[in-house]
Structure 1
Amino acid sequence: MKHEEFDAAVGGRLIVSCQALPDEPLYTSQGGVMPLMARAAARGGAAGIRANTVRDIQQIQAVVHLPIIGIIKRDYPPEAPYITATMREVDELHATHVAVIALDCTDRPRHDGQSVRDFVHAIKAKYPDQLLMADIATYDEGIAARTAGCDYVGTTLCGYTEASKDIPVPPFDLVQRLAAAGVPTIAEGHVQQPEQAQRMLEVGALAVVVGGAITRPMEITQRFVAGMHA
């Protein structure tokens, strides 16, 4: 998929993250749940899907014809980055023909020892037509990722890293600063309400990714329980 096609498909609209990790109630060893989530999101008006693992991506592709931001979460201890952290994951995702591959572009030590710049350059050299989304936590990381060659920057990891723990979330200011700098920014992370998603568009986001507030019923239940007993 080309820039223009992806921008036209998701611009000003909602992307729903459909993921379940092995320790979550909606995870099954055979899959089959995330495609249902994706189908529900599509029927509800979502413009795109963000999905984890080759299995889930392929199962979603079989039932929903929306652009997918693909990731593979794989731990490489002791290093912290785990979202599409090496070329191994990039190769696996590229083979699925996802519209966009998202990868950790935070300024943290990487398992492969490469800098973000070198990693992005290596991907673009191998797959020059593949769109890339940088999952970042801070403004400087976003600018560096865009300069390195990432097509989009997402605020996915803001609030989850040591460098970003003091940034207010949802990260409206971060999205606004990146957009003002000319960075195609996808707002992701900590968006719990439709009003917050709308605000993200107002401050310059190309699109908004929402996950837990839509596709993680355990977390939604916990918020209600906590709110009722506050």
Structure 2
Amino acid sequence: MTHDQNLIPPQSLIVSCQAPVDSPLHDPIIIAAMAKAAINQGAVGVRVDTPDHIKAVRERITQPIIGLWKQSIPGFEVYITPQFADAIAIAEAGADIIAIDATLRNRPNGETINTLIPQIQQELGKQVMADVDTLEVAIAAVKAGADFVGTTLYGYTKDTETYTPPGFKLLENMVKKLEVPVICEGGISSPQQAQKAIELGAYAVVVGTAITGIDIQVKNYQTALMEVKTFGS
């Protein structure tokens, strides 16, 4: 599969199939079942973390997998596929598209997006989804050769920590300025919000927690119920 083929059709849904490390759902078999269920209901692809999970999902579906590997490396803030070595591992596991943290923050081994993106495309033959937080970063990612750019990190970096996703304004600006497909990811919590993202020009929408995040969803419901004052108190 070469990186110049467009693997994701327009106006489509991608489901992020992930779970916290301490969750019973954090099991390759369960993640693969989530992915298959999503595909069965019309999702065009899935977004999956870690080589083991990607490999399990690949055995269940033929649709595109956006692969990533969250790595916490001391001294570095980037954590979504921060190194080329991580990209190799998830490509070998079966990912079609490699998602990377494309912010301009320092990364290990002196790598930069200007070296990492072309290396993934040329040496691995994979497309690259650049996860960004600002328009400036998005523009830099496109200049570096990214195939897709996603609003994934909006609200999750020091530059954007005062904002709450979904980043619809960022999405609008990216759609206006960029010539590559823009994917809306982060904070989409309803079908109506997903629809709005497409109406604003998003090429595709990634939904994770609202569909597959059982742990956080149950916790949110439980917290809300515990906050209700009982009658007569």
- What TM-score results when the alignment is normalised by the length of structure 1? 0.91
Structure 1 position 4, deviation (Å): 4.9
Structure 1 position 225, deviation (Å): 2.6
Structure 1 position 224, deviation (Å): 1.9
Structure 1 position 32, deviation (Å): 1.0
Aligned residue among 91, 114, 128 for 1:94: 91
Partner of 1:79: 76
RMSD over aligned CA atoms reads 1.7
| Letter aligned with residue 221 of structure 2 | F
Alignment partners' CA distance in 2, 1:210 and 1:106: 21
Q: How many residues align?
A: 225
Q: Which moved more, 1:162-171 or 1:129-138?
A: 162-171
Alignment partners' CA distance in 2, 1:4 and 1:180: 23
Aligned residue among 153, 162, 166 for 1:166: 162
Alignment partners' CA distance in 1, 2:222 and 2:105: 35
Partner of 2:36: 39
Partner of 1:113: 110
Give yes or no for the alignment of 1:146 onto 2:142. yes
Structure 1 position 169, deviation (Å): 2.1
Alignment partners' CA distance in 2, 1:92 and 1:70: 10
Alignment partners' CA distance in 1, 2:79 and 2:94: 21
Structure 1 position 88, deviation (Å): 0.6
Structure 1 position 56, deviation (Å): 1.0
Q: Which moved more, 1:40-49 or 1:137-146?
A: 40-49
Alignment partners' CA distance in 2, 1:89 and 1:6: 21
| Letter aligned with residue 224 of structure 1 | Y
Q: Which moved more, 1:105-114 or 1:189-198?
A: 105-114
Alignment partners' CA distance in 2, 1:193 and 1:226: 20
Q: After TM superposition, where is structure 1 displaced by more than 6 Å over at least 4 residues in a row?
A: none
- What TM-score results when the alignment is normalised by the length of structure 2? 0.90
Percent identity of equivalent pairs = 35
| Letter aligned with residue 151 of structure 1 | D
- For structure 2, the 5+ residue unaligned runs are 229-233
Alignment partners' CA distance in 2, 1:35 and 1:126: 27
| Letter aligned with residue 54 of structure 2 | I
Alignment partners' CA distance in 2, 1:38 and 1:76: 28
Give yes or no for the alignment of 1:219 onto 2:216. yes
Alignment partners' CA distance in 2, 1:87 and 1:5: 22
